[in-house]
A = this chain, B = another copy of it.
Amino acid sequence: MASPSSLCLLAALLALISWQAMASDPSPLQDFCVADMHSPDHFFKAAKLDTPRKTNKVRSNITLINVTQIPGLNTFGISIARIDYAPLGQNPPHTHPRATEILTVVEGTLYVGFITSNPNNMLFSKVLNKGDVFMFPQGLIHFQFNPNPHQPAVAIAALSSQNPGAITIANAVFGSKPPISDEVLAKAFQVEKGTIDWLQAQFWENNHY
């Protein structure tokens, strides 16, 4: 049988141009597939939890560790993210089109929730403390909010895809490039075009995994 090294030679070449974009999430066909077979660094990512992090406009910071950061994750259908929340910071309503998420609070308190699909659109929400675990089903709109005005919060999120993707609702609907016609959005949100124009003016830099 060919050695793992030779079996992954092509993968090594392809990795130079981000080939993992072609693959999909099912069962792997080898132990792993990375460029340099002799380094444990392809399975490792240093990410100090103690360093305070700069947060964005909605006062959060998401550090995704997916197949781009740890090449060894290729074909294995899993990734994680660390999320830092400043006091009153949030990870605003978004979906992961390709993953379910399990979130563990490691510091502080979070108010979290998700909304079910049509026709019921039920909100399931909960206040989580340090050590608590909550899950967000694949493709559903969800959010996390740090309700504490004085203390930051930190969570670790496990996601069921090596490249889960994220769609921040406000950014995608009101901040797409080019914008969606305000005629379409006014009818969809049952408001005047002027309100849509106002909402479209507020979109800001994306900040999600």
> Which of A's residues lie within 8 Å of B, judged by CB?
1-4, 6-11, 13-14, 17-33, 37-38, 40-41, 43-51, 57-58, 64-66, 68, 70, 72-73, 75-80, 82, 90, 92-98, 100, 102, 104, 106, 111, 113-126, 128-141, 143, 145, 156, 158-163, 165-181, 183-185, 187-191, 195, 198-199, 202-204, 206, 208-209
Contacts and interface: CB of A to CB of B under 8 A. Distances in A.
B47 A131 contact: yes
Contact of A27 (B17, B24, B37): B24
A97 B95 contact: yes
A27 B30 contact: no
B4 A10 contact: no
B121 A172 contact: yes
Contact of A184 (B72, B90, B126): B90
Given A2-B68, A58-B187, A191-B198, A173 B115 contact: yes
Contact of A209 (B48, B94, B118, B176): B118
Contacts of A188: 58, 90, 92-93, 143, 169-170
A161 to B, nearest CB: 7
B177 A4 contact: no
Nearest to A188: B92
B28 A98 contact: yes
B70 A30 contact: no
Given A78-B100, A90-B184, A100-B78, A21 B7 contact: yes
Contact of A123 (B82, B139, B179): B179
A145 B68 contact: no
Contacts of A178: 123
A115 B172 contact: yes
